[in-house]
Amino acid sequence: MFDGFEEEQVDVGDASVFVRFGGDGPPVVLLHGHPRTSATWHRVAPRLVAAGHTVVCPDLRGYGRSRGPRFTADHAGYSKRAVAGDVVAVMRHLGYHRFALVGHDRGGAVALRLTLDHPDTVSRVAFLDCLPLTEHLSRITAEFATQWWHWFFFAQPDIPERVITADPDSWYRGDPEAMGRENHREWREATRNPDVVRAMLEDYRAGLSVDRQHEECDREAGRRVTCPTLALWSLRDDLEDLYGDPLSIWRRWATDVRGHGIDSGHHVAEQAPEALAAALTDFLRPAPTIPTGSAG
């Protein structure tokens, strides 16, 4: 995986972030979701490098080989605001103060927080198979609660850790053929680590508490994403089934939104890498320059 990429463990203060990076050109950061690691991008990142980008793939705080602070009752150490700060620190460490951003699933929540908290750092942002957390929570139905029950199970104290770590292979059910064997091996090692499992649960606990409060404050203050925004969703997942057109929801949060569905299940970077890389490459391509001066 990731031929030609470098790897580094970056100290960002109260966390240590494992990051892969490679390529040459305008930088783009790829943020994975639950319960994956940065290795989930192994079929997409090389395609973006070939398209002329520097590609940066970190493990989110607490996931994979990244490590976060001690766990606290308010879950703030694993909030999307804290994780977004990690990404900004890693990019500055690598020499970049402005970059494009792609977030899938939980990484999408981090991408939204980063774009709202640090708007001058993000040139454009893509959200994959996700909505703002508060949009999910404001639309809770029996269907949502049935299909997304894990959000509320993960928020319970202690019990999820005991259940998951008793048999992580049965809980997560990864497929080495579908994921790619090296990606699967890295993911399996991470999900068998009790500290990683606890950190991933803290991500969800923060989502229902401190992250929700941050998004509610954004809405009350009228803050919106102002850079070009792409929303992509998996046609063989349930986002459209639950909410209808995801673009109509994202337009409540961003001023310049485009997007479409991709024929894939939820883990689009593994299941439809060609279609995803093509959509991202098109979105990340600089707008054509309009010549100045008067016509002859």
Whether 150 and 126 have beta carbons less than 8 Å apart is answered as no
Residues 6+ apart with CB under 8 A from 72: none
Which of the residues 105, 203, 218, 237 is marked catalytic? 105
Exposed, middle or buried, 31 (CB in 10 Å: 0-12/13-18/19+)? buried
Q: Helices in the chain by DSSP H: which ranges?
A: 45-50, 80-93, 106-117, 133-137, 142-147, 150-154, 159-166, 168-172, 176-179, 181-191, 194-207, 210-221, 239-243, 246-250, 268-271, 273-284
Is residue 105 annotated as a catalytic residue, yes or no? yes
CA distance 98 to 201: 30
CA distance 170 to 151: 18
Encoding tokens for residue 34?
A: 């639950």
Residues marked active site are found at: 105, 266
